Structure 1
Amino acid sequence: MRIEAEAVAPANIAVVKYWGKRNKQLNLPLNDSLSITLESLQVRSKVTFDENLNHDEIFVNGERLSDYETREYAGRVLEIIRKLYGKRVFARIESTSNFPSSAGLASSAAGIAALTFASNAALNLGLDDKELSKIARVGSGSACRSMFGGFVRWNKGESDEGDDSFCEQVFGPDHWPNLVDVIGIFKEEKKKVSSRSGMESSVASSSLLKCRLRFVEETFDDIIKAIRDRDVNSFFHLTMRHSNSMHAIILDSWPSMSYLNDKSFVVMDWVHEFGKAAYTFDAGPNPHILVLEENVQEVVNFLEGLGAKVIVSKIGKGPSLVRSET
């Protein structure tokens, strides 16, 4: 038996961040999060289930992953897929991305989402996007948000088994058509501290964590309302506050760490002075600057002046199937 499917899935940028887990194995977060699906950042994954294989093989941009990386990320998803399929068949996965991996741009999220979507199609499991988001979450927390387009909420849930920790679309890709994400890439190399390790350190040591969780809870409905009303000033303000909140936790962890660099802080200062945009940073130094379409070129000019490679992305759709065959 040899079954194959290929899917494309988008990256996402969280405006309400998640940083810290209540269950590491199931990737259950300490708080709800909210993200924007990005049209221009995509991973394409071909999944081939083959009875002649005796282990999973995963290649990312032509480079084979280590046994540890295979087991700890995609392997978790594939174990669930095999259980649902009812047959222990291994897979070869070939993924390519159109943006740098391990630079804080959610490449793992897009890759795991593409893998999950393609596996569902290849094995004809018939799972809906909500159920797929639960499976993708186990491979990479933020991957569950890449199962939907537009503005996506990840519900943290309360169940120890994770049954109520899933994603849902809050607003579609066309809700805010002139909102754009301008991404500046300063560094493309692999992070010194992975997001997974960083989160564990923060949960174990940050004295500010409880304050941040309270801040997220108190402001979550406000940012939903700002998006619903397309209230630019409120949305920009809250987006930057949430980014700063997460990175304050990271800096407060012990041993202290930071994913930002000197240029990240230059960006923050400029955005405040510019007054018509919002910055947000995931676990990396590369800024996402959210701005209305009419002001995109000013942001692009600024980032290029700092020596950044620039990617401009509108709000995108969820995963799609490229092909499926037996």
Structure 2
Amino acid sequence: MKRAVVEAPANIALVKYWGKRNEELNLPLNDSLSMTLDLTVKTEVTLSREFDRDEVYVNQRRLSDEEVKEYAGRVMRSIRKVAGDQGLRAVVRSVSTFPESAGLASSAAGMAALVWACNEALGLGLDRKEISKLAREGSGSACRSIFGGFVLWKKGTRNDGSDSYCEELFPPSHWDLVDVIGLVSDSKKKISSREGMKRVRTAPTLDSRLEFVNRTLPKMIESIANRDESSFYELVMRHSNSMHSVIMDSWPPTWYLNDISIKVMEIIYAYGKAAYTFDAGPNPHVITSSSRADEIENLLRDAGARRVIVSKISQGPRTLEVG
């Protein structure tokens, strides 16, 4: 019996990905860029040939066999292949510090923690690049949570996904930014990200969005390298708008934002020294310098946020126990 306990962080995408060229391997249609947060998932993984199946518990809730098969199951198949032991089964217990299924990348942190823990428990010796590939198979954005700071996910072009992985562009210490998150809803999404991404091929504006990403990603990286607040904030907001525009342009129609989300967009744009961004959920992430965190928190509360979380830029996963 092998065991490991790890913590893995969530991340917020600054250049978004939405849509896949291969659903089984979670290969994206475009490169993306994220910032690693200090919101974490703590995961304990126990591996044994004595277990008759994989079991996953998230915040004390046992996932159904179908949920396990859809997410952790595909990762565990790959782990067993790498380990050369098809008899291994896993019991996974995961607890998050933030609401799941509310656009805060809990699945990304959880899947990153699962793969990191398996690598530690089994002594596989995989480097972060290879771990990011395995994490990607369970949840696309999970591959970005394997690294800290500002992280680039390369979409790759190969059919087997061998060139779709992540790398750290800038460490957490590069820029003193924070993510001020307004929780306007903690309810589960009606349409999952996985289902929403299946619809994106129906959007007439998809090709324009992909061209926009390819054209502006280098500018985003340059703005981070130079700590150019004006350019960075504009690009972050435009990339958020771009993703949600193509989501709403899909058929059947899908939307993740609500009235408070739109109100926050107006407020932060007018504020001028911060950027809003939204993953697949209504909760705004406002990126700004740490010195403005209190001011942004007040603005979010005034706009209707029931709770505000302030996250610094963080490192990647860390191992708490092995054996």
Task: Name the structure 2 match of 1:239.
Answer: 236
CA distance in 2, matches of 1:159, 1:308: 44
Q: Are residue 120 (structure 1) and residue 119 (structure 2) matched? A: yes
CA distance in 2, matches of 1:294, 1:131: 37
CA distance in 2, matches of 1:17, 1:155: 12
SS in 2 for 1:174: helix
Task: Name the structure 2 match of 1:260.
Answer: 257
The structural deviation recorded for 1:247 is 0.2
Q: 2:190 aligns with which of 179, 189, 192?
A: 192
Q: Are residue 175 (structure 1) and residue 174 (structure 2) matched? A: yes
Deviations 1:85-120 (A, max 9, x none): 111210100000000000000000000000000000
SS in 1 for 2:112: helix
RMSD value, Cα: 0.6
Task: Name the structure 2 match of 1:85.
Answer: 83
CA distance in 2, matches of 1:173, 1:179: 9
CA distance in 1, matches of 2:103, 2:294: 23
SS in 1 for 2:173: coil
Q: 1:66 aligns with which of 53, 64, 68?
A: 64
CA distance in 1, matches of 2:65, 2:185: 26
4+ runs of 1 displaced by more than 6 Å?
none
Task: Name the structure 2 match of 1:297.
Answer: 294
Letter of the structure 2 residue corresponding to residue 61 of structure 1? N
Q: 1:207 aligns with which of 204, 219, 230?
A: 204
TM-score normalized with structure 1 length: 0.98
Unaligned runs of 5+ in 1: none
Q: Are residue 130 (structure 1) and residue 147 (structure 2) matched? A: no
Task: Name the structure 1 match of 2:215.
Answer: 218
The structural deviation recorded for 1:303 is 1.4
Q: How does 1:134-173 map to 2 (within 5 A)?
A: 134-173=133-172
Letter of the structure 2 residue corresponding to residue 190 of structure 1? K
CA distance in 1, matches of 2:120, 2:197: 32
Q: Greater CA deviation, 257-266 or 49-58?
A: 49-58
CA distance in 1, matches of 2:297, 2:6: 30
The structural deviation recorded for 1:300 is 0.4
The structural deviation recorded for 1:51 is 2.1
Unaligned runs of 5+ in 2: none
The structural deviation recorded for 1:307 is 3.5
Deviations 1:38-93 (A, max 9, x none): 01x10011000122211001000000001111011111111111111111210100
SS in 2 for 1:184: strand
SS in 2 for 1:190: coil
SS in 2 for 1:149: coil
Letter of the structure 2 residue corresponding to residue 324 of structure 1? V
TM-score normalized with structure 2 length: 0.98
CA distance in 1, matches of 2:286, 2:306: 13
Identity of aligned residues (%): 56
The structural deviation recorded for 1:298 is 1.1
